[in-house]
């Protein structure tokens, strides 16, 4: 029962992360209609390029900073204590984002971006802390932590469901004609409440879990190795594992002895023993987020380009939110969540290395399948096929690198540096997401200047953008060979903690890297 509760408590950070990060894709077009309507333009209002990039990317910038800061702070202070700061900040910034104020458009957008940056900062801090605090020296710890991370899938689903419910209620209560029938009347003034309610709902999961998160014990290995408190570590471990305190005290006293790998993050020994590991975790997470975040943040634009969602001028503002939310919910139900739980089921059977390789490989394959015959998928009779193929890319992202990249740093680095290395790796991933947020909208614009969005220069088109993403996935496949295989090993065995012969432990090829 304790483990189940722990999964919910720690996993709620990932839930809130996914909800807050991807809910912005539901409302970005609505923001354009509300605040950037141009009577002289034949299309509904859209966010200018710089504003769209800021709204989509500012939370990612905050997330990168938060991962680095809280990852470092978690290794300097009690991770449990620091972990309590992030949900408080999430609650405040989620509510403040929905209450963004100002008499003019610039004021609303400025306050929205300000609070979303600090929301991202809190979310970023929750990543390394929640994942690290769940680490267990047990053979099943991989599936345990993945159950926590799988809460991200439910966060994406919740974002879609909340968007569906709120937009359906407003569409029914304040029904408006399509834009091409009545440009002004197609956007009800009450639609301004939709995006605010959706963003503010993200405060609830963080608020509900704060009390229980504070009652969770610190990880026993951190308490013993870093805080040097054997007795407290024994109590915490016995609580989690339902074991006798006396039975684990001897083990904890043994691991608190001066470890053989007492090297620092910037030491030659760390570079020799874990340098390739850190390169592998940072590059794979960076490349994964370029592909995965582009799929999530801009799937509405891709679906519109191939005709799976009607053109904006054929819908009212509230109905457009409903259609986008419905597409996101279907993707989450049919591919995102099943992918997460397939990972949980097979992680201790296949191992991280095989799952990550498989995921990157099939993401590459399906991206090429979508990109090369792109014109084929734009035909009306082939749109369902496009949705199926696109869903497979989500499935193998989550039954693949989007799950494994978050777990590897917690398995291969020493306890003293685990949170810091996780923060560095996750920050590299978020750097990839930032590249997407500030670049994909430009890149995916049509090559024909007459068909681009208002204010956008010509791009390389959706087809070529998909080809680029396929190549990114292939690079992720190659860099996976720098990541250590953790199947069948405990955290102590993988990181080499307390090995009697540090040199031999560091030279063990089965731990250092997986041979290419």
pLDDT tens-digit series, residues 50-103: 999 899 889 889 988 887 787 777 667 665 667 778 888 999 999 999 998 877
Cα atoms in the 13 Å half-sphere on the side-chain side of 237:
25
Residue 196 predicted with pLDDT over 50: yes
Question: Alpha-carbon distance 48 to 452, whole Å?
Answer: 12
Q: Looking at the domain that runs over 2-257+270-512, which CATH code has it been given?
A: 1.20.1250.20
* Continuous segment of H or E residues that includes residue 75: helix 49-76
Q: What integer pLDDT is reported at residue 493 of this predicted model?
A: 54
8 A C-beta contact, residue 290 and residue 479: no
Residue 445 predicted with pLDDT over 60: yes
Coil, strand or helix: which one is 306?
A: helix
Q: What integer pLDDT is reported at residue 118 of this predicted model?
A: 94
* Continuous segment of H or E residues that includes residue 473: helix 461-479
Pinpoint the alpha helices (H) of 298-408.
299-306, 317-331, 337-350, 352-371, 374-378, 383-398, 401-407
List Cβ neighbours of 425 (8 Å cut-off, separation of 6 or more).
278, 281, 282, 285, 405, 408, 409
Alpha carbon 370 to chain centroid, angstroms: 23
More confident residue, 251 or 420: 420
CB-based burial of residue 266 (10 Å sphere; 0-12 exposed, 13-18 middle, 19+ buried)?
exposed
Residue 147 predicted with pLDDT over 90: no
User: What percentage of the chain's residues is helix, strand, coil (to nearest 5)?
Assistant: 75, 0, 25
Q: What integer pLDDT is reported at residue 503 of this predicted model?
A: 43
Alpha carbon 489 to chain centroid, angstroms: 26
List Cβ neighbours of 100 (8 Å cut-off, separation of 6 or more).
108, 109, 111, 112, 115, 196
pTM score of the predicted model = 0.80
Residue 14 predicted with pLDDT over 50: yes
Q: What integer pLDDT is reported at residue 363 of this predicted model?
A: 96
Confidence of residue 303 (pLDDT cuts 50, 70, 90): confident
| Dihedral angle, C-alpha 493, 12, 402, 219, nearest 10 ° | -10
Residue with token string 């690079």: 475
Residue 130 predicted with pLDDT over 80: no
- Cα–Cα–Cα angle for 501, 502, 508, nearest 5°? 95
Average pLDDT of the residues in 262-284: 80
Question: Alpha-carbon distance 211 to 215, whole Å?
Answer: 7
Q: What is the pLDDT of residues 326-364, one digit of tens each?
A: 988 988 888 888 998 898 888 878 888 899 999 999 999
Question: Which of 184, 204, 199, 170 is closest to 26 using CA atoms?
Answer: 199
Question: Which of 165, 181, 159, 272 is closest to 512 using CA atoms?
Answer: 272
Q: What integer pLDDT is reported at residue 348 of this predicted model?
A: 79
8 A C-beta contact, residue 19 and residue 202: yes
Q: What integer pLDDT is reported at residue 1 of this predicted model?
A: 54
Q: What integer pLDDT is reported at residue 102 of this predicted model?
A: 76
Question: Alpha-carbon distance 1 to 266, whole Å?
Answer: 40
Domain ranges of the chain: 2-257+270-512
More confident residue, 257 or 444: 444
Q: What integer pLDDT is reported at residue 244 of this predicted model?
A: 43
Average pLDDT of the residues in 34-38: 92
First to last CA, the chain: 41
Question: Alpha-carbon distance 28 to 51, whole Å?
Answer: 10
Question: Which of 265, 270, 273, 267 is closest to 507 using CA atoms?
Answer: 273
Q: How many residues does the chain have?
A: 516
8 A C-beta contact, residue 55 and residue 24: yes
Q: Which of 9-13, 42-46, 456-460 has the lowest mean pLDDT?
A: 9-13
Q: What integer pLDDT is reported at residue 261 of this predicted model?
A: 55
Q: What integer pLDDT is reported at residue 260 of this predicted model?
A: 52
More confident residue, 500 or 399: 399
Residue 506 predicted with pLDDT over 60: no
């Amino acid at each position: 029962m304790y483990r189940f509760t722990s999964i919910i408590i720690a996993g709620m950070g990932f839930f809130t992360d996914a909800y807050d990060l991807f809910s912005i894709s539901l409302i970005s077009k609505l923001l354009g209609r509300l605040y950037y309507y141009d009577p002289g333009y034949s299309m509904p209002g859209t966010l200018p390029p710089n504003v769209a990039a800021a709204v989509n990317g500012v939370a990612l910038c905050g997330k990168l900073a938060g991962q680095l800061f809280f990852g470092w702070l978690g290794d300097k202070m009690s991770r449990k204590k620091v972990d309590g700061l992030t949900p408080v900040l999430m609650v405040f910034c989620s509510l403040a984002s929905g209450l963004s104020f100002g008499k003019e458009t610039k004021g609303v957008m400025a306050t929205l971006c300000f609070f979303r940056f600090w929301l991202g900062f809190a979310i970023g801090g929750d990543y390394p802390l929640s994942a690290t605090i769940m680490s267990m020296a047990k053979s099943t710890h991989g599936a345990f932590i993945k159950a926590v991370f799988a809460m991200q899938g439910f966060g994406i689903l919740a974002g879609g469901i909340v968007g569906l419910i709120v937009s359906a209620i407003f569409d029914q209560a304040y029904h408006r004609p399509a834009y091409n029938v009545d440009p002004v009347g197609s956007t009800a003034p009450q639609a301004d409440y939709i995006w605010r309610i959706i963003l503010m709902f993200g405060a609830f999961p963080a608020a509900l879990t704060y009390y229980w998160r504070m009652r969770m014990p610190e990880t026993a290995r951190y308490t013993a190795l870093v805080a040097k408190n054997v007795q407290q570590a024994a109590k915490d471990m016995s609580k989690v594992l339902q074991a006798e305190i006396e039975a684990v005290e001897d083990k904890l006293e043994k691991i608190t002895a001066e470890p053989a790998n007492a090297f620092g993050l910037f030491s030659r020994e760390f570079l020799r023993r874990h340098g390739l590991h850190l390169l592998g975790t940072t590059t794979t997470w960076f490349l994964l987020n370029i592909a995965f975040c582009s799929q999530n943040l801009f799937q509405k634009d891709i679906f519109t380009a191939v005709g799976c969602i009607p053109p904006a001028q054929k819908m009212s503002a509230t109905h457009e939110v409903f259609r986008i939310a419905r597409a996101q919910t279907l993707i989450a139900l049919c591919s995102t969540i099943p992918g997460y739980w397939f990972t949980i089921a097979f992680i201790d059977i296949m191992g991280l290395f095989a799952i990550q390789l498989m995921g990157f490989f099939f993401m590459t394959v399906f991206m090429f399948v979508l990109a090369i015959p792109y014109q084929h998928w734009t035909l009306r009779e082939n749109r369902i096929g496009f949705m199926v193929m696109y869903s497979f890319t989500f499935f193998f992202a989550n039954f693949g690198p989007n799950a494994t990249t978050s777990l590897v740093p917690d398995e291969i680095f020493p306890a003293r540096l685990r949170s810091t290395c996780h923060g560095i790796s996750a920050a590299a991933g978020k750097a990839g997401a930032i590249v997407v947020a500030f670049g994909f909208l430009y890149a995916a614009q049509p090559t024909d200047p007459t068909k681009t969005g208002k204010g956008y220069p010509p791009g390389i088109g959706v087809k070529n953008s998909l080809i680029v993403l396929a190549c990114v996935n292939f690079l992720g496949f190659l860099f996976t060979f720098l990541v250590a295989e953790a199947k069948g090993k405990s955290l102590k065995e993988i990181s080499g903690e307390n090995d009697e012969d540090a040199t031999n432990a560091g030279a063990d090829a089965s731990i250092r890297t997986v041979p290419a």
